[in-house]
Amino acid sequence: MVNQQPTSLIHTTIGKIAIYQKEVDSNKIPFIFLHGVYFDHHLWDKVIDSVNDRTIIALDMPLHGLSKEITKNDWSLNDCADMLLEILDHLKIAKVIAVGHSWGSMTILRAASKQPERFENVLLCNMPFLAATKKQKITFVLQHSMLIFRNFYTKQVAKALFGKTLFKENPSLIEDLKRPMNLLSNAQIKQTDKAVIIDADVASELIKNLKVRAIALKGVEDYVPAPPNIETIVIGGGHISPLEKPDEILSLVKKISN
């Protein structure tokens, strides 16, 4: 999906969210793809371009990509879950197969916990589910002081997110981070980190009580652990599996669509 302009901007309680659709005349359940922090819908291009048997929806998460008209200042992960359900309502989609990366997975988990009947299956890639420790919160505050040196900050983020071996072999991966990250202001990065990471509640109970068929995926060098009670596939790379290992992601996308 190489759309530069959104198919539509959907009003939600968070604000206007940019939606990108690849419509197919099919009675198969649609896919919806949600990206992680600092990226946008293009994170999924390599996967989406290989799926042609059903309608596909991707979106730019709040403040990211072209979802810049965000009217709720103190939004949370729960607001993101409500946003996803509002988007499905607006598009008149009764049920989807949802695929998320990191923040996108965290959003899907919460939305599927609220309305499990709206989700046929979910694929949760690189999903953080533990609350940030006090030390991690302090680290983020210190890291944010380095945002004035944006190139340096972006390089440090890349080193933390991509698997070391893969990043060394393919350093151009940083360009896939720089492009969407350059669309974010320093204030937007701070706000997103606060809502998605610093203030995120532990989600172990949501995982335990999830009533939707789920598969999880993580990189072998991923900083997040495998979620409990969910079949988890471990692949090469770090935290950005859709860029590092798109073929493995595509294989699992096809698996959950059967």
Res 232 pLDDT > 90: yes
pLDDT band at 258 (very low <50, low <70, confident <90, very high): confident
pLDDT band at 35 (very low <50, low <70, confident <90, very high): very high
Q: What is the mean pLDDT of residues 30-42?
A: 98
Q: What's 159-197 look like in SS3?
A: HHHCCHHHHHHCCCHHHHHHHHHCCCCHHHHHHHHHHHH
Could you say which of 3.30.470.160, 3.10.200.10, 3.30.450.70, 3.40.50.1820 is the CATH number of the domain covering 8-256? 3.40.50.1820
pLDDT confidence of residue 60: 98
Q: 65-112 pLDDT, tens per residue?
A: 999 999 998 999 999 999 999 999 999 999 999 999 999 999 999 999
pLDDT confidence of residue 256: 92
Res 2 pLDDT > 60: no
The type of residue at 249 is I
Q: What is the mean pLDDT of residues 168-186?
A: 94
CA distances 57 to 3, 26, 43, 105, Å, are 11, 14, 13, 15
Res 43 pLDDT > 90: yes
Q: 116-151 pLDDT, tens per residue?
A: 999 999 999 999 999 999 999 998 989 999 999 999
pLDDT confidence of residue 209: 96
Q: 56-73 pLDDT, tens per residue?
A: 999 999 999 999 999 998
pLDDT confidence of residue 3: 56
Res 199 pLDDT > 60: yes
pLDDT confidence of residue 152: 94
Per cent of the chain over pLDDT 90 is 91
Res 4 pLDDT > 80: no
pLDDT band at 161 (very low <50, low <70, confident <90, very high): very high
pLDDT band at 1 (very low <50, low <70, confident <90, very high): low
For residue 78, how many other CB atoms are within 10 A of its CB?
Answer: 14
Q: Which two tokens stand for residue 38?
A: 């600092």
The type of residue at 109 is L
